[in-house]
Structure 1
Amino acid sequence: MAGRTFAIGDIHGCADALTTLLDTVEPKPEDTVVTLGDYIDRGPDSRRVLDRLIALAGWCHLVPLLGNHEEALLRALRDKNALRQWFALGGTDTLRSYGWVSGGERRTLTDWIPMPHREFLASCQDSYETPTHLFVHAGYVPELVLAEQPALALRWRVTDADTAVPHQSGKVAVVGHTPQQSGEILDLGFLVCIDTNCVRGGWLTAMDVCTRQVWQVDRNGKHRMKLGGNVCD
């Protein structure tokens, strides 16, 4: 029997939120978990987030997508001239999770970030597709198939509810990247954005894409309570 398919929104170093969310959802070995990118930067513990995702990949079918923050880090690993751009996106928060201190010991970026983490980030995919859904970090060009999508759309396009249109495949798009300040999922029917702004006081969201069941926890790992019950029920 086929397993469930879950999507998880932007984590941004919120390791406690990720741990609680996974403990609640309890993925089984036959399940697929699609993480939508932006695992690092801005939050307190990017290192532990990556450790948790690597462990998860050994338990179930993990599909990690590449976010714009991971893209910026990979570019900085290849070219030190790109370091400033990564820092502007919150890269210093990530480095602090590896023990870096401003003005402290001078080491290269590859010295700070261990090889298993670099290999994991390099293995992240541009997109993922099922018979009913497509998954990207940020957005898409509606008339192009996933294999032809430009990186700028996949990792940087902002979702605007007023101008968004369906993908030409007719599949439901599941995206992150555009933080929903309300903490609520943006559901347009043909597109669902589950970046619910965890790192800035919102929620980390997981969604079973077939049943639309939703689980949410805050950056401290506390479940969200709503009038009429717990969204994690």
Structure 2
Amino acid sequence: MNGRTLVIGDIHGAYKALKQVMERAGVSPKDRLVFLGDYVDGWSESPAVINTLIELRDTNKCIFIKGNHDALFLDWLQTHKKNEAWLFHGGQATVDAYDKLDKAMLRIHLNFLESLENYHIDGQNRLFVHAGFTNAHGVANEYFPKMAYWDRSLWEMVLAMDKNLTEDNMFYPQRLRHYSEIYIGHTPTIRIGETIPVNIDKVWNIDTGAAYKSPLTILDVDTKEYWQSDNVNELYPNEKGRN
């Protein structure tokens, strides 16, 4: 019996939420797991999140996408250059947590972060990417690969689209024509007042605001059934999460 393909939104150091939502979704070794990035920054347990992801590689088929916060943390690990904006937007919690990690484990986590993919396209032509892409010819043709984990224009475009626009219309966005579906995180759905996954045309946004005061989400890409953790701030009552 084939397992499910499950996509997981931005975790931001919320290990308790990750553990809880995986239990609620009944994740088993049969399931294929696609993580959309932003594993760190915000809540205090980024090392535990990364440990869990590394362990899952031994039990499940996993795809790990790079998020912008993962890229920022990796840059800090490699250069130790101070980035005040990153520290303010969740990075300080990650730096504090990693101060307690021994060098051997730190190297393992560094190797994991270096292995992250900018995007993944599966056998059904579904695109999984942290943020988006800008090239009209598709993500593989992106002139600036970092846009895969920084771009917001893809999401902003579908938000502004005429909901009655069909693919046979000449004004239908060229970017959307290349894929059967697109799964993203990066821009929390709470910005439009939602704490559940939001679908507009081919795009599914799975970042339901776990970095703030909302739940972490897992979605079955075939059935569109989804599971959520408790609001993450309730799991970390003595912390503030991301700014």
Partners of 2:66 and 2:146 lie apart in 1 by 12
Counterpart secondary structure, 2:116? coil
Contact in 1 for aligned 2:24/2:228 (Cα 8 Å): no
The offset of 1:68, in angstroms, is 0.2
Pick the structure with more helix per residue: 2
Partners of 2:89 and 2:114 lie apart in 1 by 19
Runs (5+) with no aligned partner, structure 2: 162-171, 236-243
Give the counterpart letter for 2:24 in structure 1.
T
What is the TM-score with the length of structure 2 in the denominator? 0.79
Counterpart secondary structure, 1:89? helix
Partner of 1:118: 110
Partner of 1:29: 29
Number of equivalent positions? 214
Aligned pair 1:187/2:199, yes or no? yes
The offset of 1:30, in angstroms, is 3.1
Task: Give deviations 1:97-126, integer Å, cap 9, x for gaps.
Answer: 2346xxxxxxxx995971111111111111
User: Which of 193, 197, 200 does residue 209 from structure 2 map onto?
Assistant: 197
Partners of 1:176 and 1:76 lie apart in 2 by 22
User: Which of 208, 214, 219 does residue 207 from structure 1 map onto?
Assistant: 219
Give the counterpart letter for 2:111 in structure 1.
E
Partners of 1:8 and 1:154 lie apart in 2 by 17
The offset of 1:32, in angstroms, is 1.1
Change (3 A) 1:156 1:121: same
Contact in 2 for aligned 1:98/1:113 (Cα 8 Å): no
Partner of 1:217: 229
The offset of 1:167, in angstroms, is 2.2
Partners of 1:146 and 1:32 lie apart in 2 by 22
Partner of 1:103: none
Task: Give deviations 1:35-74, integer Å, cap 9, x for gaps.
Answer: 0000000112111111111111111011110000011111
Partner of 2:138: 145
Alignment of 1:1-233 (within 5 A): 1-81=1-81, 83-99=83-99, 111=103, 114-130=106-122, 131-141=124-134, 143-149=136-142, 150-158=144-152, 159-160=155-156, 161-163=159-161, 165=173, 167-181=176-190, 182-218=194-230, 219=232, 220=234
The offset of 1:22, in angstroms, is 1.2
Partners of 2:214 and 2:104 lie apart in 1 by 30
What is the TM-score with the length of structure 1 in the denominator? 0.83
Change (3 A) 1:134 1:9: same
Give the counterpart letter for 1:213 in structure 2.
E
